[in-house]
A and B are shown apart, each in its own frame.
Chain A
């Protein structure tokens, strides 16, 4: 069962919550959802898992962008509630009809909700059955082909009725080929029963809604009708399939298998894609899609005058089809700026989700609206959510009487040591004493390189030569720094590829042992798709192998070689999106002072150019 269903505005005012369920949620799943999912441009996802001590919920949501409403359903993670999507859609439909911006109390929605839930439950039950039936089709077609007809039919009957188990199906298998006609008959009968049941549940909901809107009611009725039709169609389908399959009965068996293949495939895909939605929804969706398509075509025929008129008066609500071309163009643009494809895709999805159903203002083109929404989204992604004021953190560490530890990690050859020297230079310019720990005990010349930097910057170097355990070297270095009252310890590590497990383990160990204040991932601005893999694997390893209960992934990013990339600044976006960590510095040249902060606005400008 649902734990909670909430309706709130994007502004954050709860308009309606299900009082009846009334279970107090443990922790604050809703706020977590908003903060770590919806505001991170991940609203294209299908669901969100909330884990806190004593509570684990799955959250699903849907937006009403035109009115700025958010609908969130919360349920226990171990439950597989198939009707949630549908319930949310129904609640959205009905609530949007009664919503008005100045009204804030919707207690009269309780009754409607109760009906909707009942309806959704009934449908969910039916869907479950259909899913089972689909599975049956697969079983039947792959196992015993001659019995397929019978099995399929019975499967769907049973499934739709949702009463008998799968077990009976197998028992009846042998009987099936003796009297297939009887089975078909039974199927027809049972169909009638379930249809009746469904429509009656529709009818139940009607009296309540009369209070709101008569025309909507009619629609609902029509929909209910359609739905049952859809169910019927769905049930007839297997029969057709059977007929099709039976035709080549005399033909070689291989050909027959091929016939069933496409059918199975589509079923499969549907189940996987919509995650628990059954074909019933699918057909309904398709119908409504068709309607939408028709609606779109109709004005197109009216010619350019009406389109001019439309652009003056503002368009109707944005639909998916309107957004697709603009989204594609934008995604391509992001990718030419070197944003990883996966990331570009996800961000576009999220932006599309935030635009669906919105009305465009006068003189706004879809592309410009999309661009604007994208600009906002990028600003939200790139704006750091925690302070990136290292100096202050250093100060407070100093007040506690301990050195502030920064560990530099990254793959080979991205410029860890050089960046470390630049950071040391910057810290020194703020009158902080720096100790450099040479924990790259692997690459020849690494220690000497740091020694040269240390000499030039007149900072202390802590080194124990090569072939030592880097974790130990770092620990000793920190201990020394505490004794000698150094303010900051910069730990250089050996470069490693993200797939090299032993080395990644060693790195995790170093971080576990020394518990640095800041783990800085050094990445090249030159990388494209690889950036995602690098960062996510580093992040994952560090989090997985973390010894403490508090996971300690990467805290910040230092992007090097930024002067070499011209306008291909996409790596910055990819990295921030993947890790959620802010970009703390940019390396943009060869000399010590070539270290900058990220200018978010100029990056966004470049990305959208």
Chain B
């Protein structure tokens, strides 16, 4: 075998390189196969929400239990596979979670389509403090998420995380739920598509002919009160561990 290789090399270097390239591609193929096999066991949790609702902060709170110097508007997703910070001291083999924090800027939302196929659960962040001025854009984004065919078909659980609840003027979870349901109900009616639109493949969430309720969704939609800044994210961790079993 080695002799053959040598002769080739002396005869024609090009052949040698083709062999090398072939080998490398073979390796690549194998690695891709391995990766795709591994992907079957999904362990990805996606964090969504408007800009400024605290997604990046939650990401680092979950990973390192620290906020560092603070955050600014994200331009690219933050993603990492890690053990939740509260589990690091635990003994035994724990399955790490792959958490993706997607930027909230409307122009970067199409990124969601890249991550959704891998997702096992969705955290949707809502700013409970600055909720009223943003209720429409929040509802719009949430509607977009809830009507994604992948979310509906795979019944991806969604946890609506009301952040900044440590503040006195923050709205209650109940209020936020009611407002969001009201807005989503309106959206269901108006959200129609012109020919050739990108949003053609939406599935209307909820039950037709009835006012929209989160409980009507085929997937589980729950709400929780948190404060990322003070580190009160226990319920979020519970949610993650319900989806990605340790």
Contacts and interface: CB of A to CB of B under 8 A. Distances in A.
B133 interface: no
B78 A12 contact: yes
B174 interface: no
Interface string B193-206: 11111100000000
Nearest to B101: A11
A457 interface: no
B60 interface: yes
Interface stretch (B69-77, B88-96, B154-162): B69-77
Contacts of B51: 31, 35
Contact of A599 (B24, B101, B187, B196): B196
User: Chain B interface: which size bin?
Assistant: 35 or more
Interface in A290-348: 305, 308, 312
Given A383-B110, A597-B196, A312 B69 contact: no
B17 A12 contact: no
A34 interface: yes
Interface string A359-384: 00000000000000000000111011
Contact of B71 (A14, A105, A392, A395): A14
Contacts of A13: 56, 60, 68-69, 71, 78
Given A104-B68, A395-B190, A380 B74 contact: no
A599 B197 contact: yes
Contact of B198 (A381, A586, A601): A601
Contacts of B75: 10-12, 34, 38-39, 70
B4 interface: no
A12 B56 contact: yes
Contacts of B24: 312
Contacts of B77: 11
Contacts of B52: 31
B21 A31 contact: no
A516 to B, nearest CB: 19
A372 B32 CA distance: 21
Interface string B48-78: 0001100010001000101011111111111
Contact of B197 (A14, A38, A396, A597): A597
Interface residues of A, number: 50
A386 B66 CA distance: 33
Given A12-B78, A13-B60, A35 B196 contact: no
A395 B72 contact: no
B121 interface: no
B38 interface: no
A287 B193 CA distance: 58
A19 B190 CA distance: 49
A585 B194 contact: yes
Interface string B1-38: 00000000000010001001100100000000000000
A383 B109 contact: yes
Contacts, number: 126
A600 interface: yes
Contact of A31 (B13, B73, B106, B140): B73
Contacts of A14: 68-72
Which among A9, A12, A31 has the greatest number of chain B C-beta atoms within 10 A? A12
Contacts of A30: 72-73
Nearest to B21: A312
A605 interface: no
B105 A385 contact: yes
B136 interface: yes
Interface in B138-179: 140
A305 B187 contact: no
A12 B68 contact: no
B81 interface: no
B107 A39 contact: yes
Interface in A557-605: 585-586, 595-601
A117 B122 CA distance: 44
B78 A430 contact: no
Contacts of B74: 10-12
B108 interface: yes
A600 B198 contact: yes
Contact of A385 (B64, B106, B190, B191): B106
Contacts of A40: 107
Given A11-B101, A13-B78, A104-B66, A392 B187 contact: yes
Interface in B198-230: 198
A12 B73 contact: yes
A11 B76 CA distance: 5
Closest 10 CB pairs of A and B: A12-B74, A597-B197, A391-B190, A11-B78, A14-B69, A392-B190, A34-B73, A596-B196, A597-B194, A10-B76
Interface of B: 13, 17, 20-21, 24, 51-52, 56, 60, 64, 66, 68-78, 101, 103, 105-110, 136-137, 140, 186-187, 189-198
Given A10-B76, A14-B72, A34-B75, 14 more contacts: A8-B72, A17-B69, A31-B51, A35-B105, A308-B17, A383-B109, A384-B106, A389-B140, A389-B187, A391-B192, A426-B194, A597-B197, A598-B196, A600-B198
13 contacts: A8-B71, A10-B74, A11-B74, A11-B77, A13-B60, A14-B70, A40-B107, A305-B13, A383-B107, A394-B190, A597-B194, A600-B110, A601-B198
Interface of A: 6, 8-17, 30-31, 34-35, 38-40, 68, 70, 104-105, 305, 308, 312, 379-381, 383-387, 389, 391-392, 394-396, 426, 430, 585-586, 595-601
